[in-house]
Amino acid sequence: MDGRYLIRTFGCQMNEHDSERIGGMLRADGMRPARDVADARVVVLNTCAIRENADNRLYGNLGHLKPLKAKDPDLRIVVAGCLAQKDQGTIQERAPWVDVVVGTHALPHLLDLLRRAEREGPQMDVREYTELFPSALPAARDDAFRAWVSIAVGCDNACTFCIVPFVRGAQRSRAIGDVLAEVQGLARNGVVEVTLLGQNVNTYGRDLSVPGSSRRSLFAELLRRVNEVDGLRRIRFTSPHPHDFTPDVVEAMAESEKVCEHIHFPLQSGSDAVLRAMQRSYRRERYLGWLERIREAIPGIAVSTDIIVGFPGETERDFEDTLDVVERAGFDSAYTFQYSPRPGTRAATMPDQLPKEVVQERFDRLVTLQERISLERARGQVGSEVEVLVEGEGRRGLSTQSRTRTNRIVHLAEPFDPGTFVTARVTGAAAHHLTGEAVPTPVLA
């Protein structure tokens, strides 16, 4: 196909990763990225189903595209991602001007679907099983120096609030050799930072083992092997699950110098009763115990988390337990969510769904507390010298945005090319970023 494409991505890093592959396939087919919708021959909405209003937003966006399609019948509209998998035929029933609905397992077939749509009209592929990992597809990346690498898709857990197992299926891991080959290829092409992606990285490889053999997690081994890849400087991963966390992963993190000092460790709730109702099998003390152990093994590690407020049946006491864990854990940052019932999940039919005002009020208290803690943690960095990797222009082009190994954003006054490593002295702190200045490298006499 010729012409230009536009991709809008909603949701998590999995979708970012898939969008890179969607762009890669379209580019391999002869297309180029568009600047805006008016410029595009193919528009892809890569959707997310995790939180409320995702469907309203999708149908809102499709509503905006309808008159464009009426004016230009050659425009091709694609809905991909988790909502495509979840809503399937409903999408084209409600928006018959959509040309292609491509589910999470069918991504490799996108070009075929587009071609068939040219000849035969609207197409849909929402098959239930991943045959080819999207990682095997070509990628079109925004940055030349960092990349997502998928190590597993799907999830075998059944957290009662979560739609992911329904739309991404059971966990399927990529062979360790395939992951390594991809990382080696990336490093040869100048990529210095990779983020390993899986819904639950700690169970990576479980589905690869021979039935009856040990169910030992391969994730620690994977970290050590990726650490050996020449040219690579930083390794990140997301997300580990507190339930399946193992000491060998902490050891591998501590001993692999390229693995960054940051962990995203989803708490979800600090109340044991709520964790039980969520079907998350760890408890508050065990979670805090892991944090202690991780911090002991990896001094200075930054910790971020996900927290849901207002799960069905959450009492004021339960919520106070969450505030208490947040205080004791001292997270560097937290993604906070108001519980939203996802149709089809167990929690959606639980009694005691909380009124919006209660959830909002608790949410505001949690955010206030976490902002205070984030700011305190950031202030603790002032005066230190850190290695940062330059990402690009900062806000309004006034500064350069860079990132520490601990995943903190640092705004530098001086300009640097994206992908450059700089030593910076931290001069200021806010809850969500630091400011700093480059430390001149000593000139050898």
Q: Does 334 bind ligand 5AD (CB under 6 A)?
A: no
Stretch that binds ligand 5AD, among 192-200, 221-229, 312-320, 338-346 (CB under 6 A): 338-346
Nearer to ligand SF4, 23 or 198 (CB): 198
Nearer to ligand 5AD, 250 or 334 (CB): 334
- Joined together, the tokens standing for residue 170 give 């059971």
Query: Which of the choices ligand 5AD, ligand SF4, none does residue 200 contact, using the CB cut-off of 5 to 8 A by kind?
Result: ligand SF4
Nearer to ligand SF4, 200 or 399 (CB): 200
Q: Among 161, 219, 237, 290, which residue sits at the site for ligand 5AD (rule: CB under 6 A)?
A: 161
Q: Does 173 bind ligand SF4 (CB under 6 A)?
A: no
Residues 216-255 that bind ligand SF4 (CB under 6 A): 241
Q: Among 162, 201, 222, 303, which residue sits at the site for ligand SF4 (rule: CB under 6 A)?
A: 162
Q: Among 25, 48, 50, 80, which residue sits at the site for ligand 5AD (rule: CB under 6 A)?
A: 50
Q: Does 340 bind ligand 5AD (CB under 6 A)?
A: yes
Q: Does 16 bind ligand 5AD (CB under 6 A)?
A: no
Stretch that binds ligand 5AD, among 57-65, 112-120, 194-202, 333-341 (CB under 6 A): 333-341
Q: What is the largest CA-CA distance in the chain?
A: 74
Nearer to ligand 5AD, 248 or 306 (CB): 306
Cα separation, 292 vs 420, whole angstroms: 33
Q: Does 337 bind ligand 5AD (CB under 6 A)?
A: yes
Residues 289-308 that bind ligand 5AD (CB under 6 A): 306, 308
Residues 414-443 that bind ligand 5AD (CB under 6 A): none
- Cβ of residue 264: shortest distance to ligand SF4, in angstroms? 12
Residue 165 phi/psi, 5° resolution? -60, -25
SS (H, E, C) 81-100: EHHHHHHCHHHHHHCCCCCE
Q: Does 387 bind ligand 5AD (CB under 6 A)?
A: no
Q: Among 80, 164, 220, 277, which residue sits at the site for ligand SF4 (rule: CB under 6 A)?
A: 164
Q: Among 137, 339, 400, 424, which residue sits at the site for ligand 5AD (rule: CB under 6 A)?
A: 339
Query: Which of the choices ligand SF4, ligand 5AD, none does residue 342 contact, using the CB cut-off of 5 to 8 A by kind?
Result: ligand 5AD
Give the count of residues interacting with ligand SF4 (CB under 6 A): 9
SS (H, E, C) the chain: CCCEEEEEECCCHHHHHHHHHHHHHHHHCCCEECCCHHHCCEEEEEECCCCCCHHHHHHHHHHHHHHHHHHCCCCEEEEEEHHHHHHCHHHHHHCCCCCEEECCCCHHHHHHHHHHHHHHCCEEECCCCCCCCHHHCCCCCCCCCEEEEECEECCCCCCCCCCHHHHHCCCEECCHHHHHHHHHHHHHCCCCEEEEECCCHHHCCHHHCCCCCCCCCCHHHHHHHHHCCCCCCEEEEECCCCCCCCHHHHHHHHHCCCECCEEECCCECCCHHHHHHCCCCCCHHHHHHHHHHHHHHCCCCEEEEEEEECCCCCCHHHHHHHHHHHHHHCCCEEEEEECCCCCCCCHHHCCCCCCHHHHHHHHHHHHHHHHHHHHHHHHCCCCCEEEEEEEEECHHHCCEEEEECCCCEEEECCCCCCCCEEEEEEEEECCCCEEEEECCCCCCC
Q: Does 255 bind ligand 5AD (CB under 6 A)?
A: no
Stretch that binds ligand SF4, among 152-160, 286-294, 365-373, 420-428 (CB under 6 A): 152-160
Query: Which of the choices ligand 5AD, ligand SF4, none does residue 253 contact, using the CB cut-off of 5 to 8 A by kind?
Result: none
- Cβ of residue 339: shortest distance to ligand SF4, in angstroms? 12
**In this structure, what is the dihedral angle of CA atoms 177, 126, 61, 38, given to the nearest 10 degrees?**
70
Q: Does 197 bind ligand SF4 (CB under 6 A)?
A: no
Binding site residues, ligand SF4, CB under 6 A = 155, 157, 159, 162, 164-165, 199-200, 241
Binding site residues, ligand 5AD, CB under 6 A = 50-51, 161-162, 266, 268, 306, 308, 337, 339-340, 342
